[in-house]
Amino acid sequence: MSESLVLSQREGAVQRITLNRPEALNSFNGDLHRALLATLEAAAADASVRAVVLTGAGRAFSAGQDLNDPLVKPAPAGQPPRDMSEVLLRHYRPLMQRLQSLPVPVVAAVNGVAAGAAVSIALGCDLVVAGRSASFLQAFSRIGLVPDSGGTWLLPRLVGRARALGLAMLGDKLPAAEAERMGMIWKCVDDDALMAEAMALAARLAGMPTRALVATRRAIDASQALDLDGAVQMEARLQAELGASHDYLEGVAAFAAKRAPNFTDR
Ligand code: T3D
């Protein structure tokens, strides 16, 4: 496995992680999956990391699955068909689980096209900022597959059923500005401002009460399967947990003293 398939740079409390296979538009093969997962694990284990930015090198965020990877190449005529659930379960599922359970907030900086599973990876981050020339492409229907890596869960929740079906069935490129207008992403910014915006957002999140932010992600994701009372009960459990944390004491003390809080929990 080549380490350079993923670049990982530290800026203050923010870990900037860059998919680095630009010659193949950062499309995912097994090595890139392993490198990204290992880098996310390292960020999760490092208590001094308080936010992550995920981006791509070159002109794409990522073209999704590498269609030249032998694992997904259709089997030759006469051979049993390839089991297309394998790559999804072996690589994309752990990646999406890792993103969704990261102990710090994660910002996607979408620097160019995101296609197929890469749309799910970007949308699986907490905040998505995209450059004006970036786009989102549900490429699956073009090759006879369904949206995966959580696409069928994320898309309708972000944009509603009608738009999710339109995007997934038609497989048209959705420009970043339109994605912002639909509420699919947090923000579309000028290309040359993208990294500065994403890093500033991540630095701001890094200074906030990390445990509360991560619990907020958990609560919002879990609420989708709950009724109102179930959501209130879950909030009660989380408030009980967070109310016993250093950051709550610090937040209230800072408010009373009219000073900036110094949040340290993770
Ligand atoms: O088991 C499972 O569950 C499998 C999991 C599947 C998840 C998925 O992600 S399925 C969807 C896979 N992705 C795609 O279908 C996207 C295919 N790519 C495109 O539609 C276009 O390339 C883009 C819209 C992303 C970019 O278009 P454009 O015009 O800017 O660039 P291009 O000329 O098409 O591509 C540039 C090169 O990258 C080209 O190679 P070449 O001709 O210069 O040697 C192209 O073949 C290569 N490339 C682009 N995407 C992929 C790729 N090579 C391998 N895999 C790709 N996904």
Instruction: Give whole-number Cα distances, 230 to 33, 222, 223, 252, in Å.
Output: 36, 10, 8, 27
Q: Which residues pair with 131 in a beta bridge?
A: 189
Angle between helix 246-257 and 228-243 (nearest 10): 80
The vertex-207 CA angle with 205 and 209, nearest 5°, equals 80
Q: Is 127 helix (H, G, I), strand (E, B) or coil?
A: strand
Question: Do residues 100 and 41 lie in contact, with contact meaning Cβ atoms separated by under 8 Å?
Answer: no
Distance 231 CA to ligand 1 centre (A): 40
The CA dihedral of 62, 66, 67, 73, to the nearest 10 degrees, is: -160
Q: Is 168 in the pocket of ligand 1 (CB under 6 A)?
A: no
CA–CA distance, 149 with 123 (Å, rounded to integer) = 10
Distance 63 CA to ligand 1 centre (A): 5
Tens digit of pLDDT per residue, the chain (266 long)? 445 999 999 999 999 999 999 999 999 999 999 999 999 999 999 999 999 999 999 999 999 999 999 989 898 999 988 899 999 999 999 999 999 999 999 999 999 999 999 999 999 999 999 999 999 999 999 999 999 999 999 999 999 999 999 999 999 999 999 999 999 999 999 999 999 999 999 999 999 999 999 999 999 999 989 999 999 999 999 999 999 999 999 999 999 999 999 999 99
Instruction: Give whole-number Cα distances, 261 to 88, 110, 252, 258, in Å.
Output: 42, 31, 9, 9
- Please choose from 25, 28, 67 the residue to mutate so as to test ligand 1's pocket, defined by most ligand atoms within 8 A of CB: 25
Beta-carbon count within 10 A of 28 CB: 28
**Which pairing describes strands 51-56 and 14-19: parallel, antiparallel, or unpaired?**
parallel
Report the pLDDT value the prediction gives residue 5, as an integer from 0 to 100.
Answer: 98
Question: What tokens were used for 97?
Answer: 């689980």
Distance 228 CA to ligand 1 centre (A): 42
Look at residues 168, 165, 107 and name the one whose alpha carbon lies nearest to residue 136.
Answer: 168
